[in-house]
């Protein structure tokens, strides 16, 4: 498999559109510091920083994975964790996705080694 030169969020969008074969059943993104993609925003803020409480987010992500495996198709989990030790996190709470979107993405053209996306404002 060839590497893809794009942001993680953009790769997921293209993958879900079938750019690399059948869309995946599950997408798990790595732990990062910064904003992530959603219906209302199309970007990812992955930044490495070894001084963060990464284990807190990792432990909570493992907890949620078992719930995600039992969730209905199309379920999205976005885990946002404060930069705190595990015993300082108040707990988990449910949120909801935006009911609107600012952009629509489609595949305009695809060929050997490239995908040309088309992005339009909704």
Q: Where are the domains of the chain?
A: 8-121
CB 108 within 8 A of CB 118: yes
Structure tokens at 111: 């060929």
Angle, vertex CA 82, rays to CA 62 and CA 33, nearest 5: 85
With CA atoms as reference, report the closest residue to 77 among 64, 58, 60, 92. Answer: 64
SS3 3: coil
pLDDT tens digits in sequence order for the chain, 122 residues long: 667 777 777 888 888 899 889 998 888 777 766 655 555 555 554 555 667 888 898 899 888 888 888 888 878 787 888 889 999 999 888 877 777 777 778 889 988 888 888 888 76
């Amino acid at each position: 498999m060839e590497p893809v030169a794009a942001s993680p969020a953009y790769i997921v969008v293209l993958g879900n559109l079938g750019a690399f074969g059948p869309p995946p059943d599950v997408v798990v993104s790595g732990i990062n510091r910064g904003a992530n993609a959603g219906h209302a925003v199309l970007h990812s803020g992955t930044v490495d920083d070894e001084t963060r409480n990464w284990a807190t987010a990792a432990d909570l992500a493992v907890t949620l994975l078992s719930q995600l495996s039992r969730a209905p198709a199309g379920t999205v989990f976005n885990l946002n964790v404060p930069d705190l030790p595990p015993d300082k996190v108040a707990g988990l709470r449910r949120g909801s996705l935006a009911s609107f979107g600012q952009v629509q993405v489609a595949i305009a053209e695809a060929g050997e080694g490239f995908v040309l996306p088309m992005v339009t404002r909704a």
